[in-house]
Amino acid sequence: MLEAKLNEAGMLKKLLDAIKELVTDANFECNEEGINLQAMDNSHVALVSVQLSQTGFKKYRCDRPMPLGVNIGSLTKVLKCAKDDDICTLKSADDADILNLVYEAKNTDRIAEYELKLMDIDSDSLGIPDTDYEARVVMSSSEFARIVRDLSQLGESVRIEVSKEGVRFASDGEAANGNVLLKGKGPIGKVSSGPVNNSQGEGSGDGEEEDVKPEVVEVDEGEEDEDSDKKKKASNKTKVKKEKTDGDVDMEDGGDEEDEDDGEPEVEKDDEEEDEDEEAGDSKKRKKKANGTSKPAKKSKTSKGKGKRKDDDEEEEATDSVVIEMNSHVSLTFSLKYLVNFSKTASLHNRVQLYMSNEVPLLVSYDFGPGFVRYYLAPKIGDD
Amino acid sequence: MLEAKLNEAGMLKKLLDAIKELVTDANFECNEEGINLQAMDNSHVALVSVQLSQTGFKKYRCDRPMPLGVNIGSLTKVLKCAKDDDICTLKSADDADILNLVYEAKNTDRIAEYELKLMDIDSDSLGIPDTDYEARVVMSSSEFARIVRDLSQLGESVRIEVSKEGVRFASDGEAANGNVLLKGKGPIGKVSSGPVNNSQGEGSGDGEEEDVKPEVVEVDEGEEDEDSDKKKKASNKTKVKKEKTDGDVDMEDGGDEEDEDDGEPEVEKDDEEEDEDEEAGDSKKRKKKANGTSKPAKKSKTSKGKGKRKDDDEEEEATDSVVIEMNSHVSLTFSLKYLVNFSKTASLHNRVQLYMSNEVPLLVSYDFGPGFVRYYLAPKIGDD
DNA sequence: CGCCACAGTT
DNA sequence: AACTGTGGCG
């Protein structure tokens, strides 16, 4: 029996919007840790991995693992019937072939219930490419979206190159060639941390965290503060990967797992998710946090709009700054079509992380508070 | 070698948006005075003339005249990759077959470079119909857009009539007929000045000015002097058109040519208050230079500034007021399709000037600070 | 919470 | 080129 209550139906709507063009049907794998989804895109070129930790729910209960086979298009339609700020509860009996969605308006007595028919979907066992990447770029998700969209006008593919100079996105086309160079903020340090596959804490905030690695230069970013700690714990717990069970793919992961103890049965949480960022008050502690996690930071639009409420500059920089970490020079070429698709996930979170190593699939990760949406895309061969 | 730096890429984007439906390929003629473009629309019915004075650039350098053959659609795509407030630099080596566009974000480290492939385009030698018009209307560009858009729903063509009553736009259609009368502000005076082809000062601001210059007004473009009486003369002078060299188009009317070189010896213009950019102090000097050269008029810039003398306030009101000048009654009929197209230029400037004489092409002029966009459209024959 | 503006998509 | 959706501001 699954019963998962989300504080904001909007999050789920955005999540589905982000992946619906890539995936038509997928299993929502529910277990006590949360809900996960993995699928290859329709042409089997890209892999999508979504994780929603139980900590991201206002209430979460899942007695035993159950895969819910869902047609993404149908679920999207049903979710359109929810207002963004409705409280959304997902329910499904152990062997039912339907998923029940209940929308409760926060300030009224409206309660809507929908039943989505489930389907049996072969669990494609997917492996997640897990590697230690040679380069990591953390940037505004809307800027990333803008860049790949712009370049997609010129050509079919983009070469992404990380060097001491920064990160360069370049595309050649019939009528014009173009490239965008992001210099990055601060010195370029070593890659501080991997994506922590299968778990989520990670840079969810915005990647800036890196508490860990000693030598790492990266410093600035972040940090974050207490949150981080908290996060970390949380993340550790969460990191247990369920996917793991299926079998990994080609890539091995490094061990983040060790902390698996999560175990927390925390069933009721009240919105934690947000808390991460919240700090306005505690900012004193560490300023830097990018608050980016979920909603608060929202600002996204970089450009013109600068004046945010927050006022702190950090915010600003957090949202717009580009952080580049690199162990060695990388240069890979990808299909812009997919990157453009991935970049729609910008509505979920204002920061995106790109992890790259030569000849290895690119990982595009949107880590928001209680989970992540990650995309893996193999480079074009012959890329330079 | 060309190197032209614009403070706001948005201006160029708007400019291209304005003409891209009319023209597919065109030569951007660059010389020390600035950049000019002239082209017939794809069906050779309308003529577009764009002038960007070097004074409109943050930085401008063009060692020797060079025509850059551009596919407008491609350039539009490349410009889409710029944010409106990016600093945009156009560069091209002397014999290169590419135009380099560099976009620098004002507040970040993003630098994007695009290379647009150039093409050889026959300079259609275009002549600019240069006449002393019998009527001139200055009005809000958005109002003009609205009127022609509205009337285009009724019929295919519009009769524009300037009389003592004001200016009337009338269209007859299958289902309905309609007409819009603009009475104009103040008494209707004589036409104060011609469009000063090839140069821009002119009424760019908006027409209302009329100071009188004794005779030669021309020189300064800047100004707006437009005095009526003189204007005639003046206009003649000003009319010198550089394009001329190519050959005139069909529309030429009469002799304007003779002045080609602008004969006016007045090289120096005196006052130019405007000169904006540069150092204010020496503005005068440089100014002259601009005109001094061959194409005299070029510069001007009233622009944003409006600073003309008289107009300051007028400018303001100018935005909505309609100014009508008429030497004799005119009535011409035009295809609304083209006027609707021309009216998209409203995004570049909030005032538009219509110059008309019976049986002569209409001139629709958007004179903004550092340049202008002008359209010439032959009347339908049989117009009344 | 509602309204307005800007951007992206069709 | 127009419409819809999203984001920001009041």
Q: List, for residues B146-202, the tens digit of each pLDDT value.
A: 899 889 989 999 999 999 999 999 999 988 999 999 998 888 889 987 777 554 333
| Mean pLDDT on A55-79 | 94
For residue A278, CA distances in Å to A197, A271, B184 come to 25, 12, 58
Q: What is the pLDDT of residues A300-343, one digit of tens each?
A: 333 333 333 333 333 334 667 899 999 999 999 999 999 999 99
CA of A301 to C1' of C1 (A): 22
CB within 8 A of A231, min separation 6: which ones?
A201, A204, A205, A209, A276
Does residue A383 sit within a domain? no
pLDDT of B245 higher than 90: no
First to last CA, chain A: 50
Task: Identify the pLDDT of residue A89.
Answer: 95
Rounded-to-integer distance, Cα B54 and Cα A208, Å: 45
State whether B47 and B171 are in the same domain. Answer: no
- Domain of residue B318: give its range: 135-377
pLDDT of B256 higher than 60: no
| Count: domains in chain B | 2
B63 beta carbon to strand D: under 7 Å? no
State whether B111 and B141 are in the same domain. Answer: no
Which chain B residues touch A174 with a CB distance below 8 Å? 117
pLDDT of B123 higher than 90: no
| Mean pLDDT on A69-90 | 92
Distance of CA B88 to the CA centre of its chain: 21
DSSP B269-329: --------SS-STTHHHHHHHHHHSSSGGG----TTTT--TTHHHHHHHHHH--EEEESS-
Flag if A176 and B115 touch (Cβ within 8 Å): yes
Which chain A residues touch B71 with a CB distance below 8 Å? 175
State whether B179 and B319 are in the same domain. Answer: yes
| Mean pLDDT on B355-383 | 90
Rounded-to-integer distance, Cα A28 and Cα A24, Å: 13
State whether A92 and A168 are in the same domain. Answer: no
Task: Identify the pLDDT of residue B319.
Answer: 67
pLDDT of A98 higher than 70: yes
Of B91, B117, B143, which one is at a domain's C-terminal end? B117
Q: What is the pLDDT of residues A145-183, one digit of tens each?
A: 999 999 999 999 999 999 999 999 999 999 999 999 998
Which of A94-108, A241-255, B55-69, B91-105 shows the lowest mean pLDDT across its residues? A241-255
State whether A152 and A25 are in the same domain. Answer: no
Does the beta carbon of B64 lie under 8 angstroms from any beta carbon of chain A?
Answer: no
Task: Identify the pLDDT of residue A320.
Answer: 75
Of B87, B117, B147, which one is at a domain's C-terminal end? B117
Task: Identify the pLDDT of residue A197.
Answer: 58
State whether B85 and B191 are in the same domain. Answer: no
DSSP code of B3?
Answer: E
Taking all residues of chain B, what is their mean pLDDT, rounded to a whole number? Answer: 74
Q: Are B332 and B159 in contact (CB under 8 A)?
A: yes
CA of B309 to C1' of D7 (A): 42
Q: Give the pLDDT band (50/70/90) at residue A346.
A: very high
Task: Identify the pLDDT of residue A32.
Answer: 96
Which residue of A142, A143, A180 is the best one to mutate when testing the B interface, meaning the one whose CB has the most B CBs within 10 A? A180
Nearest CA among A172, A166, A181 for reference residue B104: A181
pLDDT of B238 higher than 60: no
Rounded-to-integer distance, Cα A355 and Cα A375, Å: 10
Looking at per-residue pLDDT, the higher value among B231 and A157 belongs to A157
Does the beta carbon of B83 lie under 8 angstroms from any beta carbon of chain A?
Answer: yes
Q: Give the pLDDT band (50/70/90) at residue B214.
A: very low
State whether B95 and B179 are in the same domain. Answer: no
Task: Identify the pLDDT of residue B124.
Answer: 67
Does residue B125 sit within a domain? no
Which chain B residues touch A176 with a CB distance below 8 Å? 74, 77-78, 114-117
Rounded-to-integer distance, Cα B32 and Cα B47, Å: 24
Buried b (16+ CB within 10 A) or exposed e, A358-381: eebbbbbbbbbbbbbbbbbbbbee
Looking at per-residue pLDDT, the higher value among A296 and B70 belongs to B70
Rounded-to-integer distance, Cα B241 and Cα B247, Å: 10
Does residue B122 sit within a domain? no
State whether A38 and A171 are in the same domain. Answer: no
Task: Identify the pLDDT of residue B186.
Answer: 81
Q: In what order do the strands lie in the sheet with A330-335?
A: A330-335, A157-163, A166-172, A176-182, B110-117, B98-104, B87-92, B2-6, B59-62
Does residue A95 sit within a domain? yes
State whether A190 and A113 are in the same domain. Answer: no
Does residue A384 sit within a domain? no
Q: Which two tokens stand for residue A222?
A: 């972040």
| Mean pLDDT on B338-354 | 91
CATH number at residue A185: 3.10.150.10
Does residue B124 sit within a domain? no
Q: Give the pLDDT band (50/70/90) at residue B106.
A: confident
pLDDT of B290 higher than 60: no
Q: How far is B279 from chain A (nearest CA, A)?
A: 29
Task: Identify the pLDDT of residue A195.
Answer: 80
pLDDT of B217 higher than 70: no
Rg (CA), chain A: 20
CB within 8 A of B71, min separation 6: which ones?
A175, B24, B25, B119
| Mean pLDDT on B272-299 | 36
Which of A192-206, B125-139, B271-285, B354-368 shows the lowest mean pLDDT across its residues? B271-285
Q: Are B6 and B60 in contact (CB under 8 A)?
A: no
State whether A185 and A307 are in the same domain. Answer: yes
Which of A251-255, A368-372, B49-53 shows the lowest mean pLDDT across its residues? A251-255
Does residue A34 sit within a domain? yes
CB atoms within 10 A of CB B87: 18
CB within 8 A of B356, min separation 6: which ones?
B133, B134, B135, B136, B137, B160, B162, B330, B332, B362, B363
CB-neighbour burial class of residue B120 (10 A; exposed 0-12, middle 13-18, buried 19+): exposed
Rounded-to-integer distance, Cα B347 and Cα B140, Å: 11
Task: Identify the pLDDT of residue A198.
Answer: 52
State whether A181 and A68 are in the same domain. Answer: no
DSSP code of A189?
Answer: B
* Smallest CA–CA distance from A149 into chain B, residue: B81
Does the beta carbon of B112 lie under 8 angstroms from any beta carbon of chain A?
Answer: yes
DSSP A106-154: SSSS-EEEEEEE----------------SEEEEEEHHHHHHHHHHHHTT
pLDDT of A54 higher than 60: yes
Looking at per-residue pLDDT, the higher value among A108 and B142 belongs to B142
Instruction: List the Cα angle A178/A182/A186 in 5-degree steps.
Output: 165
Task: Identify the pLDDT of residue B52.
Answer: 94
Q: Give the pLDDT band (50/70/90) at residue A43.
A: confident
* CA-CA-CA-CA dihedral for A7, A12, A14, A20, to nearest 10: 180
Q: What is the pLDDT of residues B291-334, one digit of tens each?
A: 333 333 333 333 333 333 333 334 445 567 899 999 999 999 99
| Mean pLDDT on A29-50 | 93
Which chain A residues touch B81 with a CB distance below 8 Å? 150-151, 153-154, 178, 180
Does residue B366 sit within a domain? yes
Flag if A184 and B109 touch (Cβ within 8 Å): yes
CB within 8 A of A214, min separation 6: which ones?
none
pLDDT of A23 higher than 50: yes
Q: Give the pLDDT band (50/70/90) at residue A105.
A: confident
Query: Collapsing DSSP states into helix, strand and coil, what is residue A34?
Result: strand
Pairing mode, strands B59-62 and B46-53: unpaired
State whether B273 and B366 are in the same domain. Answer: yes
DSSP code of A213?
Answer: -
Rounded-to-integer distance, Cα A275 and Cα A121, Å: 36
Flag if B112 and A177 touch (Cβ within 8 Å): no
Which residue of A142, A147, A151, A153 is the best one to mutate when testing the B interface, meaning the one whose CB has the most B CBs within 10 A? A153
Name the E strands within chain B.
Answer: 2-6, 25-31, 34-40, 46-53, 59-62, 66-71, 87-92, 98-104, 110-117, 135-140, 157-163, 166-172, 177-182, 323-326, 330-335, 351-356, 362-368, 371-377
Task: Identify the pLDDT of residue B129.
Answer: 66
Rounded-to-integer distance, Cα A111 and Cα A109, Å: 6
A299 beta carbon to strand D: under 7 Å? yes
Measuring alpha carbon to C1', the residue closest to nucleotide C7 is A301
Q: What is the pLDDT of residues A364-380, one digit of tens each?
A: 999 988 899 999 999 99
Of A117, A147, A182, which one is at a domain's C-terminal end? A117
